[in-house]
Amino acid sequence: MLFDTHVHLNADQFEDDAEEVIKRAREKGVEHMVVVGFDEKTINKALKLIETYDFLYAAVGWHPVDAVDLTDDYLAWIEELSDHPKVVAIGETGLDYYWDKSPKDIQQEAFRKQIRLAKKLNMPLIIHDREAHEDIVDILKEENAEEAGGIMHCFQGDVKMAKQCLEMNFYISFGGPVTFKNAKLPKEVAKEVPLNRLLVETDAPFLAPHPYRGKRNEPSYVKLVAEKIAELKEVEFEEVANQTTENAKKLFGIS
């Protein structure tokens, strides 16, 4: 029993074989998935998917890379979509200083707006953080984001940052990088995060775990992430699978 808390089945890379990809995930024990929409196109595709498959859910938000395009109308649309019974989170939102396609001040304002929206709606956030650790933590604190809580998606920070995020009511989620042979930091963090505050994801089609690194990722590979975490924490795979699934259901309000 596994829960992929962050997948982009709405990406163009799955245009031709999404049904087969979903079938493979189910065969590997993936019970639920959250399809993340981060702009108009991907949000609409996520909504179609969750209306087709009863075990799929959606998150709706605006990616920091495209923060320049987040209008008040789009923000109102996201708020409207939150009423959908299978929309379970706001995001992904956050900061991305690697691509830097939107100015930092515009990214930060879009991030703050979505935090405030999540608090207003009493919904969890899904946080994207790339090369922006300090500003992410500062803004979460300044906006009292603990009132919403949520997920630090594909966590890339250190143990200190993880503890700060845990204190602010966020779960720490790991994807493919925790399986990479040379990735010491995520392994250190995975050992330290309590199992009842930990989630697993793929971020498919991106960041495929070892031994598929460099290839298209897919949700069936979330099992490899859970297996690596079980190895790092020296517990049985079933314990990680069951606990992370229960964590996700609790966070998203899924019975």
Asked if residue 32 belongs to a known ligand binding site, the reply is: no
User: Smallest Cα–Cα separation from 121: which of 83, 169, 72?
Assistant: 83
Task: Tell whether 6 is in a known binding site.
Answer: yes
Residue matched to tokens 């330290």: 192
Whether the Cβ atoms of residue 107 and residue 234 lie closer than 8 Å to each other = no
CA distance 248 to 50: 17
Total Cβ atoms within 10 A of residue 215: 10
Query: Is 203 annotated in some ligand binding site?
Result: yes
- For residue 128, say whether it is annotated as part of any ligand binding site: yes
Look at residues 213, 140, 148 and name the one whose alpha carbon lies nearest to residue 175.
Answer: 213
Q: How many angstroms separate the CA atoms of 197 and 182, rounded?
A: 24
DSSP 20-35: HHHHHHHHTTEEEEEE
**153 annotated ligand binder:** yes
Percent helix, strand, coil in the chain, to 5, is 50, 20, 30
Place of tokens 């930091």: 185
- Was 92 annotated as part of a binding site? yes
Binding-site residue set: 6, 8, 92, 128, 153, 203
Binding-site residue set for a divalent metal cation: 6, 8, 92, 128, 153, 203
